[in-house]
Structure 1
Amino acid sequence: MSSQTIRYLILPGWQGSPDNHWQSHWQQNLPNARRVEQVDWFNPDPHQWVAELERTVSADSTPVILIAHSLGCITVARWAAQAPLASLRKVRGALLVAPADVERPGCPEALRGFAPIARELLPFPSQLVGSDNDPAASAARAMELARSWGSQAAILAGAGHINVKSGHQRWEQGFGYLYRLQSQIEQQARRSA
């Protein structure tokens, strides 16, 4: 898949992704990458976050790959469950990293408005990457979400929330999951051609 014919849309989670977060590094290094900017990263509103994703996807006719982290993953699922067909058709796939379980006991109050989590099958290929010690979602919960969304899943050992705090600044190995997703997209395109 030619990266010149794809837009990469970066969807950070709660509080955004700081400059040393892997999503910020990827945004600088992937061609045609841009961040879906939210009005308020600290007091997320699910309707506003979904609407901004829709605006960003529909603003350009170029196909997209979504690269979401944490609450960004939950936003993708919610958006996909209600997005117009024309927008959904632009999405070639989604990399969903460390989804935040907004239904878990002790979930921060700011995130609870994103519950319940949309459980519809995503209408595009997706790769979910979780961790066996992520405080935002257990490995079992990540696998449950992957099944609901129809995502291929990988659970990393000891990777935490796959963010700066857990030591994932550049997260070079994460590109392997992106490449795996792109291979899946290419295989699907060949089968349907």
Structure 2
Amino acid sequence: MKHVYIIHGFKAVPEDHWFEWLEQHIQQAGATAERVFLADSAHPDPEVWQACLSAQCSVLTENTIIVAHSLGCISSLSFLSKALQNTTIAAGIFVSGFTEKLKAIPELDDFIEAQTLDDKLLRQKILRRYVLLSSNDPLVPPPLTIRLGQRLNAQILEIKQAGHFMQEDGYAAFPQLWDVLRPLVMES
């Protein structure tokens, strides 16, 4: 059975945006899902977030799928760069991900610099990789998400005019993401 970890980003909590909606769809499809809590997301601390991921994403197997949003992408990729030394996971889906500093949110510069990604290991150990970007993301410019996709050798999917995929952008539900995830959770 597939198990999906849903990882939020900056200034978010597991109840925000499309996270609960996605968890319900995963469970209705017969898989399990967990929404991961990252402490004090308005003032993220890289070491604290790594500890949160380590404590909550404890089962990493070929049946595990990671779905991350925004700052949760680089955090989870940094975590996976260490955690996947001796195992592989089925897939990673990274929404509005980035690995470079954001002009719109300079207070995250130190957090971003503190992340360590092993691109080669991530490409080998995450069996399928997807990156979703919005054509008009006001926080994460599309080229940054494209470059993340290239680093991961991921399938890159652009969604037009989706903002930053937040509830205020109309993303209390995220059917385009479910279209990518559904076939992965249905696999035996």
- Same-fold call, TM cutoff 0.5: yes
Contact 1:17 1:23 in 2 (8 A): no
- For 2:8, the equivalent position in structure 1 comes to 12
Instruction: Pick closer, same or farther for the CA change 1:173–1:59 going to 2, 3 Å.
Output: closer
CA distance in 2, matches of 1:36, 1:114: 19
Query: What corresponds to 1:136 in structure 2?
Result: 139
Q: Distance between the aligned counterparts of 2:60 and 2:157, measured in 1?
A: 31
Corresponding letter in the other structure for 1:13: G
Counterparts of 1:62 and 1:147, CA distance in 2:
23
TM superposition shift of 1:83: 2.2
Give the secondary-structure state (helix, strand or coil) at the position aligned to 1:153. Answer: strand
- Structure 2 residue runs without a partner (length 5+): none
- Deviation beyond 6 Å, 4+ runs, structure 1: none
Match of residue 26, structure 1, among 22, 44, 48: 22
Q: How far apart are the structure 1 equivalents of 2:155 and 2:65?
A: 15
Q: Is the 8 A contact 1:133 1:139 kept in 2?
A: yes
Specify which structure has the bigger relative contact order, considering alpha-carbon pairs within 8 angstroms and separated by 6 or more residues: 2
CA RMSD of superposed structures (Å)? 2.6
Q: CA deviation at 1:127?
A: 0.6
Kindly, what percent of the aligned residue pairs are identical? Answer: 25
Q: Does 1:162 align with 2:165?
A: yes
* 1:54 partnered with 2:59: no
Confirm or deny: 8 A CA contact 2:130 2:156 kept in the other structure: yes
Distance 1:50 1:138 in 2: 25
CA contact under 8 A between 1:57 and 1:64: conserved in structure 2? no
- Cα distance in structure 1, aligned partners of 2:36 and 2:170: 24
TM-score norm. by structure 2 comes to 0.81
Contact 1:132 1:159 in 2 (8 A): yes
The residue type equivalent to 2:52 in the other structure is E
Amino acid corresponding to residue 98 of structure 1 in structure 2:
S
How many residues are treated as equivalent by the alignment?
Answer: 178
Residues 1:115 and 2:128 aligned together:
no
Counterpart Cα distance in 1 of 2:141 and 2:54: 29
Q: Which runs of 5+ in 1 are unaligned?
A: none
